[in-house]
Amino acid sequence: MNRVILLFATGFGLGRSAVMPGTIGCLVGVPLSWGLMQLDHVLLQVMVAIFFVLVAVPLCGSAESLIGEKDSQMIVADEFLTLPICVIGFSEPLFLLTGFVFHRIFDITKPPPIRQLQNIGGGVGVVVDDVLAALLALGCNVLLAYWI
């Protein structure tokens, strides 16, 4: 069971990349996000995104315990399971690309209050900063859609 947890938490090994493990691992979220974009109802999209977050919290918490390191870079389930939040309400592929870029920018730079939330322990602490980064990315996608 521990191997299965680590397999999923590391994005099927992509999180073990020597270069940009968070960004490489986040690529697992692209098909999840694309699938979410195919759902016709925004409420259904929201419910699926919440489900992904609820899966990410215990998965990342368990992986953190197994690895023995707080918010290890190898754990990328928090990145790829929150990426679908960025595309809620959208169906055009452009917003998957921009959502990915915005999500990575906010997750890497961790503007306030994202940085302060990393002090929370366990799976919630691993995932909450990515949820906020995804919400900011969603906001940027909404603004971008307004301007286009």
Show me where the domains of the chain are located: 2-147
pTM for this one? 0.94
Helix (H, G, I), strand (E, B) or coil at 73: coil
- Express each pLDDT in 19-53 by its tens digit: 999 999 999 999 999 999 999 999 999 999 999 99
Answer yes or no: is pLDDT of 117 > 80: no
Q: What residues contact residue 104 under an 8 Å CB cut-off, 6+ apart?
A: 22, 23, 26
- Express each pLDDT in 63-103 by its tens digit: 999 998 888 899 999 999 999 999 999 999 999 999 999 99
| Average pLDDT estimate for 95-119 | 91
Count other Cβ atoms within 10 Å, centred on residue 125: 19
The Cα–Cα gap between 45 and 73 comes to: 28
